C-alpha cells in the first residue's frame, strides 16, 4: 500500500516526539494563571465536548468562551481578550487554530508567561488543552459528505461540479478531488490535525497537498513536528476509545469529566444519501490515508498518548478514590 510508505516516512519524527513526552499534572480547575483550551477538530465528536465544556465552566464558576455556546457564534475562529474585564476567559473551546490561541495567550501574559504556556511548562505542568481524535478514514468520509455536498450552497455548486457522496465515488476521483476541494468556508478535508494544531492551518492549498505526494519532505516534517508537540502537551481522547477517554478526563481534568459522557457523543450526522454499508474499499482507504498521512500519524500518536496517560494517571485516580472513601458521609 502506498499509504503505508507515506506514513512510515514520519517514523523518526514520531520517535522524537515520544522521547520528548513529559508527565502531566492534574488540573483541578482552570484559572487565569493556567487556562484551558479545547482544540476542536472537525467531524471528530467535538460538538459534544463543547457542550460539556460550557456546563463544566459554569459549574466551576470560571469564565468561558466556547463556540456555539452561551451566545458565542459558531463561526468564531479564535478567542478574544475583549471579554470579562479585559482578562480574557479561563476556558476556551472551538475550531480555534493554534496561532490564534497562542496570540490570545501572548495578550494575557508577559513574554515569560507566554513562553511557559507554549511549552506547557508551568511549575505544576498542568494540562492546558484537550484534543479529541477520530479515525482518519471515517473522519474524511464524514467531512466529504458534510462540507462538499450537504453544506455547499447552491450558488457554490460550480466549485465542485458532479461531486457525489463519498461511498459512491471511485478511489481515482477521490484522489483527484481531495487536494483541491473546498467547502463554502473555503476549507478542505485533508490533514485536519495540521489545520487546527499547527501554524499552517490557514494555508488550505498546502494542507490539501501536504502528504499527497506533491509537497517537500521538509515541509511535511516540520508540520508533523508541530502537531505531535501540541498533542504531547495535551490530554488526548480517542473517539473510538470513549470509555478510556472518560477515564483519562477523570484523571487529569476532574472539573470537566462529570459533564462529558461518551454515550452522548453526536457526530452531527448529515443528510447526504450514501452507501448503507460501512465498509470502505481498500483502494479508497489507501488514497485517503496517503493524502492524510499526517492525520494518521497524529491519530496513532494520540492513541499512544491516551494509553500512556491512562497508565500515568492511575495515581490520581487512586488518590481521588481514597479521598472520596475517607470523606464524611
Q: Answer with the residue of higher pLDDT: 127 or 300.
A: 300
Nearest to 207 by CA among 232, 185, 221, 188: 188
Instruction: Tell whether the model's pLDDT for residue 270 goes beyond 60.
Output: no
| Residue-averaged pLDDT of the chain | 83
- The mean pLDDT of 170-189, rounded to a whole number, is 89
DSSP collapsed to 3 states, the chain: CHHHHHHHCCHHHHHHHHHCCCCCCCCCCCCCCCCEEEECCCCCCHHHHHHHHHHHHHHHCCCEEECCCCCCCCCCCCCCCCCCCCCCCCEEEECCCHHHHHHHHHHHCCHHHHHHHHHCCCCCCCCCEEEEECCHHHHHHHHHHHHHHHCCCHHHHHHCCCCCCHHHCCHHHHHHHCCCCCCCCCCCCCCHHHHHHCCCCCCHHHHHHCCCCCCCHHHHHHHHHHHHHHHHCCEEEEHHHHHHHHHHHHHHCCCCHHHCCHHHCCCCCCCCCCCCCCCCCHHHHHHHHHHCHHHHHHHHHHHHHHHHHHHHCHHHHHHHHHHHHHCCC
pTM (predicted TM-score): 0.88
Instruction: Tell whether the model's pLDDT for residue 263 goes beyond 80.
Output: no
Instruction: Tell whether the model's pLDDT for residue 319 goes beyond 80.
Output: no
Instruction: Tell whether the model's pLDDT for residue 199 goes beyond 60.
Output: yes
pLDDT one-digit tens code per residue, 19-49: 999 988 889 999 888 889 999 999 999 999 9
- The mean pLDDT of 79-103, rounded to a whole number, is 76
Specify the pLDDT at position 57.
94
Give the strand pairing for 64-66 and 235-238.
unpaired
Nearest to 141 by CA among 162, 159, 164, 172: 164
Please report which confidence band the pLDDT of residue 321 belongs to, taking 50, 70 and 90 as the band edges. Answer: low
Distance CA 148, CA 183 (A): 6
**What residues does each domain of the chain span?**
24-136+234-267+298-323
- The mean pLDDT of 226-252, rounded to a whole number, is 95
Residue corresponding to grid cell 476556551: 92
Amino acid at each position: 500500500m502506498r499509504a503505508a510508505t507515506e506514513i512510515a516516512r514520519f517514523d523518526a519524527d514520531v520517535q522524537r516526539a515520544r522521547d520528548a513526552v513529559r508527565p502531566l499534572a492534574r488540573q483541578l480547575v482552570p484559572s487565569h494563571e493556567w487556562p484551558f483550551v479545547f482544540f476542536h477538530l472537525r467531524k471528530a465528536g467535538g460538538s459534544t465536548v463543547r457542550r460539556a465544556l460550557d456546563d463544566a465552566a459554569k459549574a466551576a464558576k470560571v469564565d468561558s468562551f466556547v463556540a456555539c455556546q452561551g451566545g458565542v457564534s459558531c463561526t468564531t475562529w479564535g478567542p478574544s481578550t475583549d471579554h470579562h474585564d479585559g482578562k480574557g476567559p479561563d476556558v476556551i473551546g472551538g475550531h480555534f487554530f493554534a496561532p490564534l490561541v497562542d496570540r490570545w495567550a501572548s495578550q494575557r501574559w508577559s513574554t515569560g508567561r507566554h513562553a511557559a504556556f507554549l511549552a506547557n511548562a508551568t511549575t505544576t505542568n498542568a494540562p492546558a488543552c484537550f484534543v479529541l481524535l477520530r479515525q482518519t478514514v471515517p473522519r474524511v468520509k464524514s467531512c466529504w459528505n458534510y462540507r462538499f455536498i450537504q453544506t455547499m450552497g447552491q450558488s457554490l455548486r460550480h466549485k465542485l461540479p458532479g461531486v457525489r457522496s463519498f461511498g459512491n465515488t471511485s478511489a481515482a476521483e477521490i484522489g483527484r478531488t481531495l487536494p483541491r476541494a473546498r467547502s463554502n468556508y473555503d476549507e478542505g478535508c485533508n490533514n485536519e490535525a495540521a489545520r487546527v494544531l499547527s501554524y499552517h492551518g490557514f494555508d488550505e492549498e498546502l494542507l490539501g497537498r501536504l502528504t499527497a505526494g506533491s509537497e517537500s519532505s521538509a515541509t511535511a516534517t516540520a508540520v508533523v513536528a508541530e502537531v505531535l508537540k501540541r498533542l504531547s502537551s495535551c490530554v488526548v481522547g480517542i473517539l473510538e476509545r470513549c470509555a478510556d477517554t472518560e477515564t483519562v478526563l477523570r484523571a487529569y481534568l476532574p472539573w470537566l469529566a462529570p459533564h462529558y459522557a461518551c454515550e452522548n457523543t453526536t457526530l452531527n450526522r448529515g443528510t447526504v444519501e450514501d452507501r448503507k454499508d460501512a465498509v470502505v474499499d481498500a483502494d479508497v482507504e489507501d488514497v485517503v490515508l496517503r493524502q492524510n498521512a499526517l492525520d494518521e500519524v497524529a491519530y496513532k500518536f494520540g492513541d499512544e498518548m491516551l494509553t500512556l496517560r491512562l497508565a500515568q494517571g492511575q495515581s490520581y485516580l487512586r488518590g481521588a478514590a481514597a479521598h472520596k472513601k475517607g470523606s464524611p458521609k
